Amino acid sequence: MKWEIDPKKLYDYLKSYSEIYDIRFYFGIERGNKRSEKFHEEIKGIGYNLISKEVKWVPVDLKITHFKDNNRRIRSIAQALGRKNYMICLKNF
């Protein structure tokens, strides 16, 4: 939907409610990425209680990544354990 929300306007809106006493903003940070670090500073500057943790990157295609090598090792272990386990392993990988 490509919606964009202005964090300052949202903060001001939430702050207008007397029942709200803590306004938190949950957002990941990518250390070394200037844009990510700048955004965190802006959010803190607005007044949010920022809650964050390091962004974790996950490979998109498992066949191309390091998981392919692990797949071979798992198959060889299953084969060593017996044909029945090897066949189960082939179905799952």
Q: What is the pLDDT along the chain (93 residues), one digit of tens a residue?
A: 788 899 999 999 999 999 999 999 999 998 888 999 999 999 999 999 999 999 887 766 655 555 566 667 777 776 676 666 556 656 655
For residue 50, what are the CA distances in angstroms to 28, 31, 59, 62, 80?
Answer: 10, 15, 28, 33, 51
**Per-residue confidence (pLDDT) for residue 26, from 0 to 100:** 95
**Per-residue confidence (pLDDT) for residue 83, from 0 to 100:** 61
**Per-residue confidence (pLDDT) for residue 2, from 0 to 100:** 82
**Per-residue confidence (pLDDT) for residue 82, from 0 to 100:** 67
**Per-residue confidence (pLDDT) for residue 84, from 0 to 100:** 61
The full set of domain ranges for the chain reads 7-51, 58-93
**Per-residue confidence (pLDDT) for residue 1, from 0 to 100:** 77
- CB neighbour list of residue 24: distance below 8 Å, 6 or more residues apart: 48, 49, 50, 51
**Per-residue confidence (pLDDT) for residue 80, from 0 to 100:** 72
